[in-house]
Structure 1
């Protein structure tokens, strides 16, 4: 269907909303009538050629006393659905009385088969009938939808000479019209950026990326295609068409089963209708309603190809609560075993659940077939870098990359989508990488590959032409290095996040005024015994400042033992909090001394040794939380953490060490880093020439402004 005809039909249907609903519904509610009526008219037009045969079959079945008539009537209709009422939609436009029109219209709706009834239920369309009857607009709306000036049928309208007056409207084109109508309604309602539909040119690129790299591996077989955020089903439709086309080109006989899930009732209803219109009644049963995250419609299925454009930047708090809360999620799609960790969580922050859709698809990959599974999914930029090491987003990137499933990421131009202009990226994930791709990830910068639209569609101001799609797909298949295609080892994107500790240094001030304050504290906490110990030690040390906290505690213990006072941990904390203070000139506070042979110095970074009774022992110092720092070290850093510590830290802080218990592995992908092109600075010659030109241009200007000197 050409764009001109597409726009004519969309504008015609939009005109029905403006002409018929303006004084009855607010603009945000137009969709409640227009979308279901568009579906009903499409179904009605498809059923029209076989209407008489269906009614005759119904009469025969009624005479025979047959109760379950749906299968037989659908067979006569030649579709996966039917309507057994005595009416066509055009029969209802000329009712003189509104109540008769209401009764006949309800009878007409009731005549649809159960699969269409579910569609009407999801639209909640019956709730609108009374409003339209009371406003006396139902007949007018029907009349407009059956107008002979547009054709919503799958068959062309011919003129008296047998020439095509109005071309047929295939299911693909009908899907385009649905999505354009929804886009316009979303635009009217100022819906958020995540509530958008994927443009057909982007979907076609995604289909090419999914299928072309493995086109020579397609066999005479059955293939399962899945979209966990299927919207109106456009991605599934195009994927099916593209896969069939490739199979034909390779002389293969294949069957394709489509599966999808959608949480929005309207778009779910449109997807079901689209499946029914294709004559694929069983396929329509493969579309699940509800949240993919908290109510997976296909928990035991695995799929050959999976394509999606999930919502991004959208909260999933409701799903999080249904799954049991962040700390209690046990869903094996999001909590897996990886690298020896049995409870490896890939759960992102509750404000953005986009990566959970990718995790869901990864859990549905086939691992026992030659082709395996290919996933092609659109995300925004935050999926590449959001989340620190050990957090859900980073863990998912780590899980995918360390399993060597990430084939490529493709950066798309901005303003490719209807309701958002933000940067977007296509992830290509497969568990059957070609041998020359193993251990590698390809990044493709396609941000400059676009063709401007003659007229913007919402935020969308550019598109992928077939030539551009071919160019991008060829870069993926050729797997070559150039300005727009970079190839990296998997570990390029990984890093260790280490915690660098510095020792705590404490001094103790035993001046009389400090002891007076401490005495007040002891009295208040009924710890007068402690004051006795401190007073005796202070007198022994002549009320001086002690720069070695370890020595202070040792001497304190001696005094306490001698006068039989127990130094509990609580009492030691009281003394430390009241009398000790950090002091960069003080000695380091010892946490623990390990006797020789008790600990392997090669197991930890930055351990120190001391002599104890002539024996070398390893000592752990107590860290100063105020001096604690973190560093990110690339996994490809030569020599690893130990060498980094020597090269970058110990030369500035020789007393520092790394707390290995806090080391985390993270992954992030910084596109800007790999494709950044610095602005070329002008040469001194160019700058000098420009200055001379400015001098010439401004010569005499000052005198003109302030007047000549007299």
Structure 2
């Protein structure tokens, strides 16, 4: 279908809303009538050629006393659905009385088969009938939809000379029209950025990316295609068309089974109707309703190809609660075994669940077929870098890259989508990388590859022409370094995040003023005995300041032992927090002394050699939280963590060590790092020339003013 006819049909249907629904519905509610009526008229038009045969069969079945008639009637209709009422939609436009129209229209709707009833239920369309009857607009709406000026049938409308007056409308074109209507309704309602549909030019690029790299490997057989956030099903139908086309070009006979899941009842209904119109009842059963995250519709099915544009920047708190809460999620899609971790969690923050859709697809990959699985999914920039090492987002990136599944990421131009102008990226994931791609990731910067639209469509002000799509796919297939294509080792994006500790150094002020202040704190803590004990130790030591906290503790412990007092952690913390003071010139506070032979000194691990009571010991020092620091070391850093620690940490802090219990591996991908092009600064000669020109100009003005 050409663009002119597409626009004509969309404008006609949009005009029905303006002509019939104004003053009855607010503009934001037009969709409640227009979308279901468009679906009903589409179904009605498809059933029209066989209507008489269906009614004849129904009469026979009624006379024979057959109760379950659906299968037989659908068979006569030649579709996966049917309507057994005595009416076509065009029969209802001539009703003079509103109550008769209402009764006949309800009977018409009730005549649809159960699979269509589910669609009507999801639209909640019956809720609108009373409103339209009371406003006397139902007949006018029906009359508009059956107008001879519009054809929503799969068959062309012919004129008296049997020439095509109005061309047929195939399912793909019908899907485009649905998406355009929804886009316009979304625009009217100021939908959120995440509530957008994928433009067809982006969908076609995604289909090319999914299939072209493996086109030569397509064999005769059946292929399963899945979209876990399918919306109106446009991505599935586009993928089907492209895959079938490539199979034909390679002289292969294939069958394609489409699977999808959608949480929005309205768009689910449209997808369901689209699948029914394809003529496959089973195909329609492959569309699941509900949340993909908390109610997976296909938990045991694996797919050959998976394409999606999941919602991003959208909270998934409801799903999180249904899954048991963040700490208790045990879903095997999001909690896996990786490396040496059996409880490897890929659960992102609750404010954005987009990466969970990718994790869901990873769990559905085929691992025992020659082709494996290919995933093509759109994300915003946060999927590239949010989440610290060890957190859900970073863990998912690590899981994909360390399994060598990330083939490429393509950066798209801004303003490519209808309701958002943010930067977006296409992830390409496969468990069957070509041999020359193994261990590598390709980044493609397509932000400058775009063609401006003559008229903006919401936020969308540019598009991918067929030539641009070919240029992007050629870059992907070529797998070569260029200004727009960069190729990296998998480990390029990984890093160790290590925690660097420094020893705690404390001095103790035993002056009378400080002891009195400490006594007040002890009184507040109802522990005056500790104040008395400290006063006795201070009197015994005859010094006001002790720079070796370890010596002070030894004296304090001896004094406590003599009186039978104990020094639990609460008392020790009270002394550290209110009596001792941090002093970088003081001695390091010892946390533990290891017995000889039980540990070896290793400064990197926080174990140091020391002489205590004339004995050579291995000691472990307490760390100072205020001096704690973290460092990110690239996995490709020459010499690894040890070399970095030696060169970049010990050089400046010889008493530092690494808390290896906190070391984590993280992954992040920065397009800016690899594709940033600094603005070219002007040369000094150019700047001087401009200054001289300005000077000459102002001098001339000054002469004019003085002369005047």
After TM superposition, give the deviation of residue 525 of structure 1 in Å: 4.5
The aligned residue for residue 474 of structure 1 is: 474
Q: Contact 1:605–1:642 at 8 Å: present in 2 too? A: no
Report the Cα distance in structure 1 between the residues aligned to 2:67 and 2:532, rounded to whole angstroms.
99
SS of 2:51's equivalent?
Answer: helix
Report the Cα distance in structure 2 between the residues aligned to 1:527 and 1:679, rounded to whole angstroms.
66
Report the Cα distance in structure 1 between the residues aligned to 2:432 and 2:105, rounded to whole angstroms.
54
Please tell me whether residue 188 in structure 1 is matched to residue 188 in structure 2. Answer: yes
Report the Cα distance in structure 2 between the residues aligned to 1:526 and 1:34, rounded to whole angstroms.
75
Q: How does 1:63-82 map to 2 (within 5 A)?
A: 63-82=63-82
Report the Cα distance in structure 1 between the residues aligned to 2:327 and 2:410, rounded to whole angstroms.
33
Report the Cα distance in structure 2 between the residues aligned to 1:674 and 1:525, rounded to whole angstroms.
58
Q: How does 1:411-450 map to 2 (within 5 A)?
A: 411-450=411-450
Q: Could you tell me the TM-score, scaled by structure 2's length? A: 0.98
Q: Contact 2:600–2:607 at 8 Å: present in 1 too? A: no
Tell me: CA distance 1:564–1:267, structure 2 relative to 1, closer, same or farther (3 Å): closer
The aligned residue for residue 264 of structure 2 is: 264
The aligned residue for residue 588 of structure 1 is: 588
Report the Cα distance in structure 2 between the residues aligned to 1:88 and 1:394, rounded to whole angstroms.
56
Tell me: CA distance 1:526–1:460, structure 2 relative to 1, closer, same or farther (3 Å): closer
The aligned residue for residue 646 of structure 2 is: 646
Tell me: CA distance 1:580–1:708, structure 2 relative to 1, closer, same or farther (3 Å): farther
Report the Cα distance in structure 2 between the residues aligned to 1:85 and 1:520, rounded to whole angstroms.
90
After TM superposition, give the deviation of residue 104 of structure 1 in Å: 0.6
The aligned residue for residue 83 of structure 1 is: 83
Q: How many residues align?
A: 708
Instruction: After superposition, give the CA deviation of every residue in 1:80-107 in whole Å (9 maximum; x if it has no partner).
Output: 1111111110110000100000011011
Tell me: CA distance 1:481–1:524, structure 2 relative to 1, closer, same or farther (3 Å): closer
Instruction: After superposition, give the CA deviation of every residue in 1:367-413 in whole Å (9 maximum; x if it has no partner).
Output: 11111100000000000001111111111101111111100000011
The aligned residue for residue 391 of structure 1 is: 391
Report the Cα distance in structure 1 between the residues aligned to 2:327 and 2:91, rounded to whole angstroms.
59
The aligned residue for residue 122 of structure 1 is: 122
SS of 1:225's equivalent?
Answer: strand
Report the Cα distance in structure 1 between the residues aligned to 2:338 and 2:432, rounded to whole angstroms.
19
After TM superposition, give the deviation of residue 520 of structure 1 in Å: 3.6
The aligned residue for residue 351 of structure 2 is: 351
Report the Cα distance in structure 1 between the residues aligned to 2:704 and 2:597, rounded to whole angstroms.
90
Q: Contact 1:596–1:615 at 8 Å: present in 2 too? A: no
After TM superposition, give the deviation of residue 693 of structure 1 in Å: 2.3
Report the Cα distance in structure 1 between the residues aligned to 2:702 and 2:550, rounded to whole angstroms.
76
Instruction: After superposition, give the CA deviation of every residue in 1:169-228 in whole Å (9 maximum; x if it has no partner).
Output: 111111011000000000000000111111111111101100110111111111100000
Report the Cα distance in structure 2 between the residues aligned to 1:239 and 1:526, rounded to whole angstroms.
74
SS of 2:598's equivalent?
Answer: coil
After TM superposition, give the deviation of residue 604 of structure 1 in Å: 4.3
Tell me: CA distance 1:609–1:127, structure 2 relative to 1, closer, same or farther (3 Å): same
Tell me: CA distance 1:609–1:171, structure 2 relative to 1, closer, same or farther (3 Å): same
Tell me: CA distance 1:196–1:525, structure 2 relative to 1, closer, same or farther (3 Å): closer
After TM superposition, give the deviation of residue 69 of structure 1 in Å: 1.4
After TM superposition, give the deviation of residue 613 of structure 1 in Å: 5.1
SS of 1:96's equivalent?
Answer: coil
Q: Could you tell me the TM-score, scaled by structure 1's length? A: 0.97
The aligned residue for residue 369 of structure 1 is: 369
SS of 1:700's equivalent?
Answer: helix
The aligned residue for residue 307 of structure 1 is: 307
Please tell me whether residue 561 in structure 1 is matched to residue 561 in structure 2. Answer: yes
Report the Cα distance in structure 2 between the residues aligned to 1:251 and 1:163, rounded to whole angstroms.
34
Report the Cα distance in structure 1 between the residues aligned to 2:325 and 2:3, rounded to whole angstroms.
48
Tell me: CA distance 1:692–1:81, structure 2 relative to 1, closer, same or farther (3 Å): same
SS of 1:387's equivalent?
Answer: coil
Q: Contact 2:601–2:609 at 8 Å: present in 1 too? A: no
Report the Cα distance in structure 1 between the residues aligned to 2:150 and 2:431, rounded to whole angstroms.
48
The aligned residue for residue 511 of structure 2 is: 511
Report the Cα distance in structure 1 between the residues aligned to 2:296 and 2:370, rounded to whole angstroms.
26
Report the Cα distance in structure 1 between the residues aligned to 2:601 and 2:138, rounded to whole angstroms.
84
Instruction: After superposition, give the CA deviation of every residue in 1:343-390 in whole Å (9 maximum; x if it has no partner).
Output: 111111111000000000000001111111000000000000011111
SS of 2:550's equivalent?
Answer: helix
After TM superposition, give the deviation of residue 57 of structure 1 in Å: 1.4
After TM superposition, give the deviation of residue 451 of structure 1 in Å: 1.3
Please tell me whether residue 102 in structure 1 is matched to residue 109 in structure 2. Answer: no
Report the Cα distance in structure 1 between the residues aligned to 2:39 and 2:563, rounded to whole angstroms.
93
RMSD (CA atoms): 1.5
After TM superposition, give the deviation of residue 151 of structure 1 in Å: 0.9
Tell me: CA distance 1:11–1:654, structure 2 relative to 1, closer, same or farther (3 Å): same
Deviates more, 1:480-489 or 1:62-71: 62-71
Q: Contact 1:512–1:543 at 8 Å: present in 2 too? A: no
After TM superposition, give the deviation of residue 499 of structure 1 in Å: 1.0
Tell me: CA distance 1:56–1:600, structure 2 relative to 1, closer, same or farther (3 Å): farther
Instruction: After superposition, give the CA deviation of every residue in 1:626-656 in whole Å (9 maximum; x if it has no partner).
Output: 1111111111111111211121122222222
Give the unaligned 5+ runs of structure 2: none
The aligned residue for residue 152 of structure 1 is: 152
Q: How does 1:459-538 map to 2 (within 5 A)?
A: 459-523=459-523, 525-538=525-538
After TM superposition, give the deviation of residue 134 of structure 1 in Å: 0.6
The aligned residue for residue 19 of structure 1 is: 19
The aligned residue for residue 138 of structure 2 is: 138
After TM superposition, give the deviation of residue 601 of structure 1 in Å: 4.4
Report the Cα distance in structure 2 between the residues aligned to 1:544 and 1:169, rounded to whole angstroms.
95
Report the Cα distance in structure 1 between the residues aligned to 2:668 and 2:617, rounded to whole angstroms.
40
Q: Contact 1:311–1:354 at 8 Å: present in 2 too? A: yes
Instruction: After superposition, give the CA deviation of every residue in 1:38-96 in whole Å (9 maximum; x if it has no partner).
Output: 00001111111111111111112222222211111111111111111111101100001
Report the Cα distance in structure 1 between the residues aligned to 2:294 and 2:323, rounded to whole angstroms.
6
Instruction: After superposition, give the CA deviation of every residue in 1:585-625 in whole Å (9 maximum; x if it has no partner).
Output: 21111111223332344594454221245554322211111
The aligned residue for residue 235 of structure 2 is: 235
